[in-house]
Chain A
Amino acid sequence: MREKQLLGIIWKCNLCGFCPKDMECPGYDEDTRWESSFARGKVSIVHAIMQDPDLRFQNSELAKERLFSCTGCGHCEYICPSGVDVPSIIYLGKKKLVEADNYPEAHKKIVENIKNHGNPFGETQPRDASWPNLKGNVNADSIYYPGCMAIYRIPEIALHTLKLFEKLGENIKVLKNETCCSGILYRTGHNELLYDLTNSMLNEIRENIPKQIIFTCPGCLTAFKEIYKSELKEKFEDTKLLHFSEYLVDKISKLGDLKSKINELLKTTIKGPIIWHDPCHLARGLGIYNEPRAILDAIQLPYAEFNQTKEDSNCCGSGSGVRSAYPELAEKTTIQRLEEVKELGAHTILTACPFCEYQYKSVVEKNRYDINVIDLNNLLSELISLL
């Protein structure tokens, strides 16, 4: 979106202060409760930056901390009676700070890694070498886009997903020129790099238009569906862009009688009770929260819900580069979630976002919580193995 348009959105904020001032806003500083740390303040900061001839605000350390500690979870937008798109305003603010070279060191590394290696981690080889063979499958008109997290950090997600595709008889391929979706670049203020870093991948799609692209990462799906549309004018008019749960929901019976294996699964691999975590980008951002639940209901998996769910669910704390720039803040938010899991008596968090899973897993491990975290596709694939 153009700056002028975004300024119009800033003016829609009527400063009513209805936006969250508690764990609903991971960036809020509950200890000191400064105005600048919740959405109304962050919107004000961006307003100040847009009216800042002497760059006082653009060069401010506090502006940097406040804007870059926003996970882009969108909870404020959901609550806002005026429907203000706060995350987009904050992305604009970050962009202005990046222009002034005032942004977290950790993000400099991410940008360099994506530029040099096509992924934010700077990895040169995927963790698991078995799945890239699919690049050779030129006949498939369905694409699976696993995203960097599943390729380099939690390869099980990609491998289990491939197993599900196989069982469903889906002829699938991955992109030859697959690179980071670069959603993280947009969310950390580096919009200007988007075109160059995604162009060869997008050209491959444009040259051979697929029927559908299926994603396991809600962040990548959001990049394709929303960020490319607004920033690159790429609309994918003839291609369906689907989260795996959307793709699967009508086909679940094809995976076999999974419900007959639920008890066995709960006795062996997975420790119940299970609780479902709605990833922000998936549930609030894309409105996909009924599909995963329909899948769970179809296989008759008993699961609990958090106190706040679906569009109103709380963030895991890791999005938009917060995990890398402000790990303590991200951890604090995750711990609040884990405490809620404990309070609700659950032992396994089930979700459908590699980022949420990775964040939960690392905080669980560091703080020795007796809680497991598992991706929906892993669970389904485990059930298939039991058939």
Chain B
Amino acid sequence: MIRMKVNGKNQQFDGDPEMPLLWVLRDELDLKGTKFGCGMGLCGACTVHLNGKPIRACLTPVSAAANKSVTTIEGLSTDGTHPVQAAWQDLDVPQCGYCQAGQIMSACALLAKTPKPTDADIDAAMNGNLCRCGTYLRIRAAVHKAAEAMPAKPVKAANSGAASRRGGTK
């Protein structure tokens, strides 16, 4: 039996511990926001946070999430008011939209570590997130916009706890 916290809620799973977290989230817990794109860590569509860090859920066996906390796109906010979601909405980022949950999760993780990222920071943090529709220019602009909207970094917030709170991994 694997116990974990998903979006703040206790969950358990007693199937195959090798099943990737992606499929547990999507098909067992019915959290369909996290997407399947490649199954090989090549596209980032499946990005979620594990204890605040971005991971590829398609390559992470559910056993690796035991006793840890997982945040998915559904855990940012249910009404799209998280600053990153809001920036994405304002700038009309999605085209087909399929990659965007993964993009947003990577962006949140970046902003948690680097509250005012440069273009180069964004490129480095988001390079594993493919957008087949080519929305990259708006993604970049939206990360900057979200950075402006997010509360200024507390003076001594180099520790991951404070950072991950801002990144939406409650």
A and B held together in a complex = no
Q: What is the interface of chain B, defined by CB distance below 8 A to chain A?
A: none
- Identify the A interface with B (CB < 8 A): none
